Amino acid sequence: MTQLFNFPLDTNLAGLLSLQANGTTVTGNASPAGIQERVQIVDGTARLSSYGSDAETNFGYRSEIAFGRFPNSGEVWSSVDFMIDPLWTTSTVASIGSWYPSPDGGEESIIKHVNIGLRLVDKDTLFVNVPAAVLPAISATGKTVAVKKIEQGRWYNITIRMNLQTTAVGWREVYLDRVKIFGEYNVPTAYDDANGPYFKMGPRTPLSHDYDMVRMWVRNAKQWFGNESFSTIMGGVPVSSGRMLQQ
């Protein structure tokens, strides 16, 4: 296995593909200290905040950081620790992370549902979404494949493992604190793009701005390519699941 990226997010944001907040888009190298009061390192952790008074950024209200792109074929992994701040004040559906497609030239205006997305509803319910259409067909519509209750103010690790393929030899899995909450096999998992999706985290509320502030914390973001053991990625083998709301 090859480690593609490793961002502890403990001292600065250098090397990140992009930072987006309050009408600003910039690379990590151009602004390693972040975006004032929105994307910054606080107490050795990335703090991502979006305020009700913020300007739109790329057709949404967001404070997101993008790490790096995957190849568009083969086994790939992402792992990250995250926490929903108790100050999160809206029940509106919000994105908190995704593997976002990389458009080919001329496709910038085409909306493609993310390869896999993490959504927060009612402040404490994590949804996992995938494209509703059978890839590589293009659609902006998604479907929910797993739902899990989480707690504000608690750290979680989420690990995504996927075989990116445009034919039905692909598969995709999601683990929350080493518990598999989603697995699907013998399905296409990639768009027919030259470059693979890029991994991003942070709050985004595209349809509503009905809050004073939403905030989450992120640390230890890593990406890999190739076959590896779960112990290397997650610090241990998968463990048995508790009660799941839906799958």
Does residue 142 sit within a domain?
yes
Quote the number of domains for the chain: 1
| Helix/strand/coil (H/E/C) assignment for every residue in 65-125 | EEEEECCCCEEEEEEEEEEECCCCCCCCCEEEEEEECCCCCCCCCCCCCCCEEEEEECCCE
Q: What is the pTM of this model?
A: 0.94
How far is Cα 245 from Cα 10, in angstroms, rounded to an integer? 34
**182 located within any domain:** no
pLDDT value at residue 242: 56
CA distance 148 to 108: 33
Classify residue 58: in a domain, yes or no. yes
Sign of the four-CA dihedral 188, 102, 143, 241? positive
Residue type, 173: E
Ranges of H-type helices in the chain:
230-234
Domain membership of residue 112 (yes or no) is yes
d(CA 99, CA 162): 11
Task: Give the single-character DSSP code of 1.
Answer: -
pLDDT tens series, the chain, 247 aa: 899 999 999 999 999 999 999 999 999 999 999 999 999 999 999 999 999 999 999 889 999 999 999 999 999 999 999 999 999 988 888 999 999 999 887 777 788 999 999 999 999 999 999 999 999 999 999 999 999 999 999 999 999 999 999 999 999 999 999 999 999 999 999 999 999 999 999 999 877 788 899 999 999 999 999 988 888 899 899 998 754 444 4
> Tokens representing 164?
């990116």
Secondary-structure percent of the chain, ordered helix, strand, coil, rounded to 5: 0, 50, 50
> Token pair for residue 148?
């899990």
23: in domain:
yes
Residue 116 resides in a domain? yes
User: What pLDDT score was predicted for residue 244?
Assistant: 45
Residue 120 is assigned to a structural domain of this protein: yes
> Domain containing 57: what range?
9-72+82-156+196-221
| 113 within 8 A of 98, measured Cβ to Cβ | no
Query: In degrees, to the nearest 5, what angle opens at C-alpha 61 toward C-alphas 55 and 219?
Result: 115
CATH of the domain at 146: 2.60.120.200
Residue 48 counted as domain residue: yes
Of 223, 225, 233, the closest CA to residue 66 belongs to 223
What are the beta bridge partners of residue 16? none
Contact 238, 180 (CB under 8 A): yes
